[in-house]
Each structure stands twice: as C-alpha cells, then as structure tokens.
C-alpha cells in the first residue's frame, strides 16, 4: 500500500524543480574541496567526480555519440555510462563539471523513459549520492521529493535493484509511506528515496 499526494506535479512545476535542483547542486559542487571531489559517492565505484560527470552526460553528448558508445559497450547501458563518466571526469576540471549543470539548468534532456519526473529523479538522487556520502546536511525540498516518491512502484524498484521485500517505508517528515511488509523503516523522505533507487544508506540495514 502506498500513500500518494492529492496533487500531481504539472510539467511546468517539474521543469522549475529540475532547474532549481541543477542550479543548487552546481553551487554546492563549486564549494567542494579537492578531497571531497575525489571522495567515494554512494554510486559503487564512482567518486563525486564521476557522479558529477555522469549528471552532465546528456548535455555534452548527442545521440550519435551515445549510440556509438553503446555499441562499443556491446549494448550494456551500465558499461557505456561508466565509461563516459570516467572519461569526462578525467577530461574536465571540477569547475567545468559544476558549470555544466548550471549552464544547462533548463535543458530539455530526459532519460529514455519516464519523462520529466525521471529527469528530476536523476538529478535529485545523484545529488544525494554526493551529499549523503560526504555527510553534507542538504535537504531536498518536499516539492521535489513528492513526485519521485509518488512514482515508486514494483516496476521501478526492480529496475533500480532495490530489495524491499517485506519492508514498509514510512517518511518521518512527509505524509508518505510505501509497502505493507512486517518491517517498517521510519526515516526522512530523501533517505527512503535513496533506498527505493537501490542505494544503501548509513544506519539502515535492509
């Protein structure tokens, strides 16, 4: 069972949320030290640099380049995105990686499926991959979390490899819950979103 908000975000609201998230994350990236840029993120095998590079992939590389890289990766989306993230992280300086997000705050890029909500989820979750791993107390606004939480479903959990069988998620700061398992995880909404996207977070053993 899942509790949903009564109001569905409009396309205009989603675009505004995406632009705000990218701009704020660019400012945050500009404030990081050299050590923080090279610290591990919540994305396995990626430092903060690779995550930031990946977030700008859709702005830097056009479809023909993506297609070629996907063929080189023998059709593996994971291998393709990993290669491009590492390539761009090594090629671009930290200020350039941050500027890519800021300069493309209103870019219309969206993932292959999911539309604007998926684009917002891409930015929010990868931002959390950085801030949570670095121990930074950044709170994602509720109006950006809501549409992402409301989109949590068995299909999305499988896609992101989230293992939440027999688990109920219940936000302590929003009126939202998901699942009907025998074990309840009470955490802030943005931490629950990370769990739904297949991440592991401190102090939560699932």
The Cα–Cα gap between 85 and 192 comes to 26
Tokens representing 191 are 């931490």
pLDDT digits (tens, 9 = 90+) for 71-86: 887 777 788 899 999 9
The Cα–Cα gap between 97 and 1 comes to 40
pLDDT digits (tens, 9 = 90+) for 106-123: 999 998 888 999 999 999
Domain span at 58: 11-196
Asked if residue 2 belongs to a domain, the reply is no
* Residues 28, 52 contacting (CB under 8 angstroms): no
Looking at residue 68, its pLDDT comes to: 82
pLDDT digits (tens, 9 = 90+) for 121-169: 999 999 999 999 999 999 999 999 999 999 999 999 998 999 898 999 9
Give the residue carrying structure tokens 């990081």.
32
Asked if residue 1 belongs to a domain, the reply is no
Asked if residue 5 belongs to a domain, the reply is no
Confidence of residue 1 (pLDDT cuts 50, 70, 90): low
Looking at residue 151, its pLDDT comes to: 93
Asked if residue 93 belongs to a domain, the reply is yes
pTM, entire model:
0.92
Tokens representing 186 are 């009470």
Tokens representing 189 are 């909404």
Structural domain count of the chain: 1
């Amino acid at each position: 069972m899942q509790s949903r908000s009564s109001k569905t975000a409009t396309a205009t609201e989603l675009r505004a949320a995406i632009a705000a998230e990218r701009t704020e994350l660019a400012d945050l990236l500009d404030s990081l030290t050299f050590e923080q840029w090279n610290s591990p993120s919540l994305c396995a095998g990626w430092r903060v640099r690779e995550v930031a590079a990946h977030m700008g992939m859709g702005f830097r590389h056009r479809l023909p380049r993506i297609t070629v890289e996907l063929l080189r990766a023998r059709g593996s989306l994971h291998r393709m995105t990993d290669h491009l993230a590492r390539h761009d992280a090594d090629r671009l300086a930290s200020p350039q990686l941050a500027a890519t997000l800021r300069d493309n705050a209103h870019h219309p890029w969206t993932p292959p499926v999911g539309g604007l909500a998926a684009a917002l989820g891409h930015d929010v979750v990868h931002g959390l991959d950085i801030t949570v791993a670095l121990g930074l107390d950044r709170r994602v606004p509720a109006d950006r979390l809501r549409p992402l939480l409301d989109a949590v479903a068995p299909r999305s959990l499988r896609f992101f490899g989230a293992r939440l069988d027999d688990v109920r998620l219940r936000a302590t700061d929003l009126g939202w819950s998901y699942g009907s398992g025998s074990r309840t995880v009470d955490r802030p909404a943005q931490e629950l979103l990370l769990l739904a996207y297949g991440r592991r977070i401190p102090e939560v053993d699932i």
